[in-house]
């Protein structure tokens, strides 16, 4: 485990030097300095998988500030009323910008900045001309597409065709969001072709791949599921109807396999309690002795979500949220945005044991539950054949299992005739699917829930923060101030109001 982390750190340091130093000066090259001609993909892959995952789920590593950044999971859980602050009036600024929807060019700017930096390593891998690396190139295409979808979902038009050229172009143009989306589908299809047609002698990444350990059949399932998500994101848009239908038909006719039961895509390069080796998500809340730290104590459950899970008899409440320190009230939260009133709303629950186990836990990149809910939606909308109800109930089962509960617990839950819980008891099946996604991704990928709420309007019942400035939550992020300063001629102009009004193309 220690040796693997040393390799990851070396890969990070080597490729950072490639990004910053290549073509800087026209001088003689030292044989001791790495260059793109001497670095092989296996040196870069694991480090890139780890550092991009940290943007998805979070990282708080004090000795490595370069990998401490804003993350989509925290942002989404706050936007979707899953988390709030647990602090008194003396520190009422905690999560203040999130609660007040104060979206500026500095709000979660690390998502844009760090993802563009880290995904350039995937571009390096997919562009290698060295023989034998088809599987590496396929993984790089899949992972770059996975994260570029989020960049488009959160920002709209972004640099794409001219991105990652290092010193050759430091001010890349912005490409049309829809054009990028369509090319991401192509990239995913190319990745599948690379896997299917890899020549004899092609290297298997093995443990250099700290996500799926070189299981290329699983990478194909992941790729097909990512393509399905890309297409569904566009599926509500009338102008995309013909395109989406044709691509869905291709998935159906090709017999594409998607991530199914037990097919959770995880990451673990050897996480441990050792300093700088913690799971990125866990490091936000646990110190290196696996004891809780301030961010854990300051992040509380919301009263709304606690009450919702309680009212629907959802046993996941005890896995998503911790029990309070009071035996009289097992689970409790307070209104998102309010300053905690200890006389009426204390103690409260925090991040639960099904999400936060220890520093060595696997990171969750894409869950089987999310995949099955995507498939259920595709079937319900008529794009794929199958049983939407069966997929829906299987997804709930996978969510329960992932959190440490049983299939029997799940069956008892979804057999209830409660709207948005039981299939037959739900009037709007799409709303039920997205509602279950909100629950299944609580604490795991809040960013995806926020994006899906923007796309579908569901779950419609989730309220705004009590200190929201208006009647709607943000629907996007704004381009960061670093980009405005460094790429002024190309970055589209924006006002802060556009965080609430400027729609991503698939929502137009």
Q: What is the mean pLDDT of each run of 10 residues along the chain (508 residues)?
A: 54 47 29 56 96 90 54 97 77 84 96 95 96 98 98 98 91 98 98 98 97 98 98 97 98 98 98 90 93 90 97 98 89 88 79 97 98 98 98 99 98 98 98 98 98 98 96 97 97 97 97
8 Å CB contact between 397 and 406:
no
Residues facing residue 299 across a β-bridge: 85
Q: Which pTM value belongs to this model? A: 0.93
DSSP labels, 91-140:
GTTTTHHHHTT---TTTTHHHHHHHHHHHHHHHHHHT--STT-HHHHHHH
- Could you tell me if 14 and 39 are in contact, meaning their C-beta atoms sit under 8 angstroms apart? yes
pLDDT of residue 230: 98
Answer whether 320's CB lies under 8 Å from 333's CB: no
Cβ atoms of 123 and 140 closer than 8 Å? yes
- The confidence score (pLDDT) of residue 275 equals 78
Rounded distance, CA 485 to CA 468, Å? 29
How far, in whole angstroms, is CA 460 from its chain's centroid?
Answer: 21
- What tokens appear for 245 in the block? 């239908």
Distances (CA, A) of 18 to 24, 125, 140: 10, 13, 17
Q: What was the pLDDT predicted at 7?
A: 56
Cα(120)–Cα(471) distance, integer angstroms: 38
Vertex 359: Cα angle to 225 and 150 (nearest 5): 30
- How far, in Å, CA of 69 to CA of 149, rounded? 19
The reported pLDDT for the residue numbered 86 is 82
Cα-Cα-Cα-Cα dihedral sign, residues 152, 157, 161, 162: negative
Query: Which pLDDT does position 32 carry in this prediction?
Result: 39
């Amino acid at each position: 485990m220690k040796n693997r982390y040393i390799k990851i750190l070396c890969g990070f340091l080597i490729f950072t030097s490639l990004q910053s130093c290549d073509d800087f000066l026209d001088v003689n090259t030292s044989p001791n300095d790495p260059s793109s001609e001497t670095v092989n993909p296996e040196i870069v892959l694991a480090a890139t998988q780890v550092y991009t995952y940290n943007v998805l789920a979070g990282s708080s590593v004090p000795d490595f500030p370069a990998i401490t950044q804003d993350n989509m999971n925290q942002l989404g859980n706050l936007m979707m009323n899953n988390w709030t602050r647990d602090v008194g009036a003396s520190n009422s600024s905690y999560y203040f910008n999130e609660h007040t929807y104060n979206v500026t060019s500095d709000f979660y700017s690390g998502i844009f900045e760090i993802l563009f930096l880290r995904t350039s390593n995937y571009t390096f891998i997919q562009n290698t001309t060295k023989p034998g690396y088809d599987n590496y190139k396929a993984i790089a295409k899949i992972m770059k597409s996975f994260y570029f979808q989020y960049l488009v979902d959160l920002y709209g038009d972004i640099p794409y065709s001219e991105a990652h050229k290092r010193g050759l172009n430091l001010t890349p143009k912005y490409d049309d969001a829809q054009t990028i989306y369509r090319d991401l589908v192509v990239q995913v299809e190319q990745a599948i072709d690379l896997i299917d047609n890899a020549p004899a002698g092609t290297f298997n990444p093995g443990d250099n791949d700290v996500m799926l350990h070189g299981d290329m059949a699983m990478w194909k399932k992941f790729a097909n599921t990512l393509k399905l998500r890309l297409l569904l994101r566009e599926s509500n848009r009338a102008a995309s109807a013909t395109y989406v239908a044709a691509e869905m038909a291709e998935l159906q006719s090709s017999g594409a396999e998607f991530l199914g039961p037990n097919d959770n895509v995880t990451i673990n390069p050897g996480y441990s309690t050792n300093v700088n080796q913690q799971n990125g998500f866990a490091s936000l809340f646990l110190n290196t002795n696996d004891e809780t730290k301030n961010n854990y104590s300051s992040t509380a459950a919301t009263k709304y979500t606690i009450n919702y899970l309680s009212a629907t008899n959802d046993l996941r409440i005890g896995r998503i949220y911790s029990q309070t320190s009071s035996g009289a009230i097992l689970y409790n939260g307070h209104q998102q945005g309010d300053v905690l009133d200890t006389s009426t709303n204390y103690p409260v629950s925090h991040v639960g044991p099904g999400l936060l186990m220890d520093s060595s836990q696997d990171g969750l990149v894409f869950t089987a539950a999310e995949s099955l809910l995507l498939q259920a939606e595709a079937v319900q909308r008529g794009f794929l054949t199958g049983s939407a109800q069966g997929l829906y109930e299987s997804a709930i089962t996978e969510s329960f299992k992932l959190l440490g509960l049983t299939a029997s617990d799940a069956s008892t839950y979804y057999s209830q005739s409660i709207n948005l819980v039981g299939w037959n008891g739900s009037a709007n099946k799409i709303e039920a699917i997205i509602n279950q996604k909100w629950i299944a991704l609580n604490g795991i990928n809040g960013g995806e829930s926020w994006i899906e709420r923007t796309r579908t309007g569901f779950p419609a019942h989730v309220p705004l923060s009590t200190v929201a400035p208006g009647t709607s939550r943000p629907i996007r992020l704004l381009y960061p101030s670093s980009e405005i300063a460094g790429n002024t001629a190309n970055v589209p102009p924006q006002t802060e109001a556009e965080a609430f009004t400027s729609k991503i193309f698939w929502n137009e």
